């Protein structure tokens, strides 16, 4: 009982201290719905560094991960506030697909980012493919993780064909997750589709799928079916990125596809085996993508939000993207420390193929379930 009272008093004191220290600082309301590794990184790295540099601002981070539609709900609220002239209570979206709801761009909900309002935007690389309202600031790509204790250096696959051959030669040693349950497994499947369509991701344009490409999907199913019996436990596919990492961590398998950021972070925390190495295919890398931030035009603290956008694109934070969350920088290597590039050379490529998603993903997932995961022939 005493302890409970004491903790209540302590909590009250803490709240008091914080509210006193917050006086005189303008808040910047940041909303995040990304995974824990990202929200933790904001709390522990970005926010303290930003507030040290800009003592006039106080960043208020709200985590909406798993709550309804996450940031999309907050953006809808901001749109409603824009139309009625109310306070949207948000200044900055950590990650938001600004194109996911057409009404947002139609009503000019987001600030167009230019070198005038965010000077560091000039360093952002072409590969991020940004539209004016987007602030790309961290990337991530799927790669191969293997245990060098059991996989010797000379047998590490460098091409997709070699990977297929390695899996067939080492039954039960490889696993990837169901393509709809995590990007690391999806990359294994989309890479098979790229393989049979001439390794040219630029042919895959978002929108209505190209029938000529779709007609070639069965070849990808045949390729993936050829390794099905050699997957972990004769063809068992876990339901997510994390379960795959777990199988790798406890030594059930010795090679997996994994997100670069999740793998690097797990290595840094000592969760993966000592001999864990990461590599990327040389003929065409696995897919990846960037996270884009956005600022609503009616942000109550627009100035602070733009300062924050500029701050996350500084070499300091972009280095932290690589070192702390295992992500890819969104700015050019020219402005980043040279030794950083050397250190992550084998992992970070300059080409990050993207999969168009949408209808293409529906066809990819359904095709995989009906042709690779099952032994039932639908046509019969």
Partner 1 sequence: MFRRLFSNSLSQVKTRRMTTTQAPTASFSRKWRGAALAYLLVAPPLLLMVLLIFIPALQSIARTLTISVDGVPGFSLSRYTAFFSDPISVNNLIFTFQVTLLTLAAIFVVCFPLALYLRFSSGRIASIVQILALFPLFVPGIILCYALIRFLGTRGTLDTVLSLIGITGYRTPYLKPDAIIIGLVWEAIPFTVLVLTAGLRQVSDSLIESARDVGADDWTIFRRIILPLIARPALIAFSLNFLGIFGSYTIPYLLGPAAPQMMGVFMQQTFGQYRRPDEAETQAVITFIICAFIGFLYVRTVARQRITHEKDE
Q: Should residue 119 be labelled a site residue for partner 1 when binding is judged by CB under 8 A?
A: no
3-state secondary structure of 313: coil
Comparison of 60 and 365: residue with beta carbon closer to partner 1: 365
CA-nearest of 150, 143, 155, 144 to 275 is: 150
Stretch that binds partner 1, among 123-131, 194-202, 340-348, 361-369 (CB under 8 A): 361-369
User: Total residues contacting partner 1 (rule CB under 8 A)?
Assistant: 28
C-alpha distances out from residue 270 to 196, 259, 266, 319, Å: 37, 16, 6, 21
Comparison of 208 and 250: residue with beta carbon closer to partner 1: 250
Q: What number of other Cβ atoms are within 10 A of residue 175's Cβ? A: 25
Give CA–CA dist 30/151, Å, rounded: 44
Q: Should residue 356 be labelled a site residue for partner 1 when binding is judged by CB under 8 A?
A: no
CA-nearest of 303, 308, 299 to 88 is: 299
Q: Should residue 72 be labelled a site residue for partner 1 when binding is judged by CB under 8 A?
A: no
Give CA–CA dist 352/66, Å, rounded: 27
Q: Should residue 150 be labelled a site residue for partner 1 when binding is judged by CB under 8 A?
A: no
Comparison of 37 and 117: residue with beta carbon closer to partner 1: 37
Q: Should residue 350 be labelled a site residue for partner 1 when binding is judged by CB under 8 A?
A: no
Comparison of 188 and 348: residue with beta carbon closer to partner 1: 188
Q: Should residue 225 be labelled a site residue for partner 1 when binding is judged by CB under 8 A?
A: no
Q: Judged by CB under 8 A, which of 51, 73, 180, 323 binds partner 1?
A: 180
Comparison of 45 and 252: residue with beta carbon closer to partner 1: 252
Q: Judged by CB under 8 A, which of 37, 89, 252, 279 binds partner 1?
A: 252
Q: Should residue 200 be labelled a site residue for partner 1 when binding is judged by CB under 8 A?
A: no
Q: Should residue 362 be labelled a site residue for partner 1 when binding is judged by CB under 8 A?
A: yes
Q: Alpha helix locations (H) across the chain?
A: 2-21, 36-41, 47-53, 71-84, 102-106, 160-169, 183-196, 211-214, 217-225, 232-235, 241-249, 260-268, 302-312, 315-325, 338-343, 359-368
What is the binding site for partner 1 (CB under 8 A)? 178, 180, 232-233, 236-240, 243, 246-247, 250-252, 359, 361-362, 365-366, 369-370, 373-374, 376-378, 380
């Amino acid at each position: 009982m005493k302890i409970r009272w004491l903790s209540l008093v302590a909590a009250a004191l803490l709240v008091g201290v914080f509210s006193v220290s917050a006086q005189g600082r303008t808040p910047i309301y940041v909303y995040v719905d990304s995974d824990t590794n990202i929200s933790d990184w904001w709390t522990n790295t970005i926010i303290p560094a930003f507030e040290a540099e800009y003592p006039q601002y106080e960043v208020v981070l709200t985590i909406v991960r798993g709550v309804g539609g996450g940031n999309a709900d907050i953006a809808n609220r901001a749109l409603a506030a824009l139309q009625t002239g109310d306070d949207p209570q948000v200044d900055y979206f950590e990650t938001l697909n600004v194109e996911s709801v057409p009404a947002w761009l139609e009503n000019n909900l987001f600030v167009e980012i230019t070198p005038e309002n965010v000077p560091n935007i000039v360093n952002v690389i072409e590969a991020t493919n940004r539209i004016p309202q987007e602030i790309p600031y961290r990337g991530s790509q799927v790669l191969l993780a293997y245990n060098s204790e059991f996989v010797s250096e000379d047998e590490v696959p460098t091409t997709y064909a070699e990977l297929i051959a390695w899996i067939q030669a080492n039954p039960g040693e490889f696993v990837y997750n169901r393509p709809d349950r995590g990007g690391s497994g999806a990359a294994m499947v989309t890479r098979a589709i790229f393989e049979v369509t001439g390794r040219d991701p630029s042919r895959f344009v978002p929108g209505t799928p190209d029938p000529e490409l779709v007609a070639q999907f069965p070849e990808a199913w045949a390729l993936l079916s050829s390794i099905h019996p050699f997957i972990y436990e004769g063809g068992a596919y876990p339901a997510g990125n994390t379960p795959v990492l777990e199988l790798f961590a406890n030594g059930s398998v010795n090679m997996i596809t994994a997100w670069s950021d999740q793998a690097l972070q797990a290595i840094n925390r000592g969760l993966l085996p000592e001999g864990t190495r990461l590599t990327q295919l040389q003929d065409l890398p696995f897919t990846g993508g960037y996270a884009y931030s956005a600022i609503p035009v009616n942000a109550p603290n627009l100035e602070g939000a733009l300062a924050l956008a500029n701050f996350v694109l500084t070499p300091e934070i972009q280095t932290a993207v690589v070192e702390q969350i295992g992500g890819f920088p969104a700015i050019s290597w020219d402005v980043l420390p040279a030794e950083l590039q050397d250190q992550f050379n084998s992992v970070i490529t300059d080409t990050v193929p993207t999969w168009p998603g949408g209808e293409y993903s529906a066809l990819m997932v359904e095709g995989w379930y009906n042709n690779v995961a099952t032994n039932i022939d639908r046509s019969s």
